[in-house]
Amino acid sequence: MPAAKRVSIGDGLVRTTFAATPAMPSYLIALVAGELERTEGVVDGTRIGIVTTEGKRASAAFALAAARELLHDFNGYFGTPYPLPKLDHIALPGGFSGAMENWGAIIYNEAALLVAPGGSEQSKQRVYGTVAHETAHQWFGNLVTMAWWDDLWLNEAFATWMATRASDRAHPQWRMWLDAALRRDEAMALDARPTAHPIHQPIQKESEAESAFDDITYEKGAGFLRMLEDHLGEAAFRDGIRAYLLRHRGSNTTAADLWAALGAASGRPVAGIASAWIEAPGFPLLSVDARCEAGQRIVGLRQSAFRAEPASADASAPAAASVTPSAAPGLLWRVPVRIGTAGGAGGESILLEGTSMEVTSRAGCDDPLLIDPGNVGYFRVRYAPPLFEALLARWPTLPDSARLKLGADSAALLQSGQQPLASHLALMAREIADARVKAARGMQVPKEVAGVHPHLLLMMENSERAASAAADGDNERVDLRLLLEHLERHRALARDHGRVVERMHDGQAALGRQRQAGDARVFEGIAFEHHLGAEAARVLDLYRRSEARHHDRRLQAHALRVVRDGLR
């Protein structure tokens, strides 16, 4: 709180009396002392300060502008103004990483708050997101606090979602929802494992709370809120949040209180929708098919639990059903699903409540079917082959959100043994040929291409020659290189599954050497016995050695035929 009175008591000493601190959780109290400088402004009657150690005031300008902008935005969104007379953002030079949302005195590692004059756009994006996250906690966590640590996600997931929303509104050029989708996909990779825990997990004592600070709490929680807001509608969701804060300000809550407020505002059974998403680990796979009747598209949806690992062929192997509900026959999610088309038509939101359902889409049959066009769903989608191929044919015109989801889902399905390798390679070939991807060669990835498949962008450092070959129509070489690069990209996962046959390093000595035009085509990869067979692995090894030494076209052609046979 601000100083209420200062009185000189002699010998150069001053007694400072601060205004009374409101009732708050004890973990939110902070006291900071030192040789500090303060830069401040005022917004909506609240004093906003950026506090730094001496000599760093010049690096506080961006943070101050962000803090003022965010407080005003949040005052409007929440409908309950920030309740304290001041809000300080304090940059400390060390001692911890990240930030802590102490009420009225948020503490940051200075690297998370300060941006030097002329600082990069990436630094500004990082600082803006961190300030947004901690400012959101002033309402979700501070004004209204979870009753116990098992509902920690109420604080962290909401602040994560709110920070992305605010960053996207203020700086749409950063395309923060695409970045959030990448983080959500990382959480989904964890959530699909047999060892995953639910968002709401038992915490018996305070010392166990630290275990809840992970991607499931933050990113799955935020991903669910994003999906729920899309289903309920932005206005109804906001009104529910406002009612929740107004009713429970200065007190403790559980998730049930939030669901009740959102349900009352939307008229939807929010508690029933949320139950499986919050109380159980895992998420669904939606299998999608469609047919046209009298000019109308009938969409068939079927849900099943998505599992990261293929079912074991060994009957004696321990079943994942013993450790994860993802295999439990009775587990069903109530899944909000938006149905659209590649041309942007439709977009109606439905709720899949059982194992399967059929829906008549208003969009008709003219454009390819597209499930979850905004990439807001916390689920994987597996299209029937004709639907998948139709979307690939429209790849250059799909929105970035849809292309990102198609790529991520295809990779996850391949890894789990539920997608043919040939189908995923067809998608990757589209990505390689895409002009937006070509712009990302050499790993210099501008923000405007952030919607492309992240796995491909990570591989672009070693695939410039493959992209050039694609442009020249050298399809055979592109196919093989795509295969090798894909296998290399997933080597860690393959090792975990015990499916690695060999790793090939031939030709490494040629790296970096100047050679004749068309030479220096040196690369490495992994051969999967599961997909290619031992003969294909042997021929690929010979291919590399011949590539590095003599470029034997006959052997290369033979290797390509073997690979293609293996894919069939």
What are the Cα distances from residue 328, in Å, to 194, 331, 333? 12, 6, 12
| CA pair distance 236, 267, nearest whole angstrom | 9
Amino acid at the residue 294: A
Cβ atoms 43, 71 nearer than 8 A: yes
Token digits of residue 35: 């040789």
- Of the candidates 152, 110, 151, the residue with the CA atom closest to the CA atom of residue 130: 110
| CA pair distance 471, 478, nearest whole angstrom | 10
Widest CA span of the chain, in angstroms? Answer: 95
CA 302 from chain centre, in angstroms, equals: 24
Q: In what order do the strands lie in the sheet with 369-371?
A: 346-352, 335-341, 369-371
Query: 134 an active-site residue?
Result: yes
Q: Nearest 5 degrees, angle CA 143-CA 83-CA 141?
A: 15
Token digits of residue 557: 């052609």
Cβ atoms 562, 535 nearer than 8 A: yes
Burial class (CB in 10 A: 0-12, 13-18, 19+), 516: exposed
| CA pair distance 396, 391, nearest whole angstrom | 10
| CA pair distance 499, 209, nearest whole angstrom | 37
Token digits of residue 24: 């708050």
DSSP code for 301:
E
The residues near 84 (Cβ < 8 Å, ≥ 6 apart) are: 1, 22, 46, 103, 104
Q: Nearest 5 degrees, angle CA 225-CA 231-CA 234?
A: 75
Backbone angles phi, psi at 323, to 5 degrees: -125, -5
Q: Tell me the DSSP string of 9-48.
A: EETTEEEEEEPPPPS--GGG-----SSEEEEEEEETTEEE
- Of the candidates 131, 349, 133, the residue with the CA atom closest to the CA atom of residue 237: 349
Q: 558 in helix, strand or coil?
A: helix
DSSP H or E segment with residue 100: strand 99-100
Among 101, 134, 219, 547, the one annotated catalytic: 134
Q: In what order do the strands lie in the sheet with 86-92?
A: 36-43, 46-53, 86-92, 105-109, 99-100
Amino acid at the residue 464: E
What are the residue numbers of the active site?
A: 134
